[in-house]
Amino acid sequence: MSIVLTLCKAFLVGGLLCVIGQVLIDKTNLTPAKILVLYVLAGVVLGAVGVYAPLAEFAGAGATVPLTGFGFNLAKSTAEAVNERGLWGALEGPLSAASVGVMTAVLSALIVSVFARSKDK
Amino acid sequence: MSVSNEDYAAMTNRAAPPSPLALDCLKAFLVGGSVCCFAQGVTEALVLLRLSREDAKLLAMMTLIVLTAILTAAGVFDRLAKHAGAGLAVPITGFANSVVSPALEFKSEGYILGTAAQMFSIAGPVIVFGCSSASLYGLIYFFLAGRR
């Protein structure tokens, strides 16, 4: 029962974050690339001011899977790194927070492009 | 009969098909929600298998990225994304697709200047601005936390 509720919350919040992105795509002339940058920045800012942590607590993957969650994770992990390592954390935190996501994407892109046939343009 | 402007607007509203915005938003909501729900499901399943919640979340995210890579290579992702719009662009799937898609597309220009260089054409800006702002936040946080 609690799992069903958790899934529903993830669905609702994740869906709503996507609807905001869709409105931005349809109503402004922002390209999806700019919206990705905007979402990550929004996540960093919302994480920094402490708004996003309660949302992530509430919605789980619904808040962490959209790119705002990526930004939130950057901010949260950087603050933790600063707690542990002082000012070094401000330099070490961001990239190590991004590392798992970025490396998974890079490695799968490499593997896929080695095995896939080059597309005819 | 005379029809006021307001009445006319109301009549056309009733007769017109639902606006593309409403339909786009509905599709984005359903697809985006499903992606997040799927990730939550994978997380819960892994927690049941006694993985720590932190690890489970990372593995769920990795699952989405790898699935996106496979679907992009198979040509399925682009077709889905055409309908889903932000529903697939805003979740981590959009980020993964932005890495994999140019990597494949520019393979013909070689691995160095094609695949590797183009891989970051969209992910690059995301990482530059995301990490730089997080770094700036770390700096501010350091001085605010230091004063306490």
Chain B from 38 to 97: CB within 8 A of any A CB: 39-41, 43-44, 57-58, 60-62, 64-66, 69-70, 72-73, 85-87, 89-92, 94-96
**Do the Cβ atoms of B62 and B37 come closer than 8 Å?**
no
Chain B residues touching residue A46 (CB < 8 angstroms): none
Residue B28, φ and ψ in degrees, nearest 5: -60, -40
In a domain, A120, yes or no: no
Quote the CA–CA distance of A69 and B110 in Å, as a whole number.
Answer: 34
Domain around A8: 2-115
Contact A121 B105 (CB under 8 A): yes
CA-CA distances (angstroms) from residue B20 to A29, A30, B8, B12, B121? 16, 17, 21, 15, 29
Q: What is the pLDDT of residue B55?
A: 96
In a domain, A100, yes or no: yes
Query: Other C-beta atoms within 10 Å of A44: how many?
Result: 30
The predicted model scores a pTM of 0.89
In a domain, A70, yes or no: yes
The first and second tokens of residue B103, run together, are 């990597």
**Number of separate domains in chain A:** 1
**pLDDT tens by residue, chain A, 121 residues:** 589 999 999 999 999 999 999 999 999 988 888 999 999 999 999 999 999 999 999 999 999 999 999 999 999 999 999 999 999 999 999 999 999 999 999 999 999 999 987 554 4
In a domain, A61, yes or no: yes
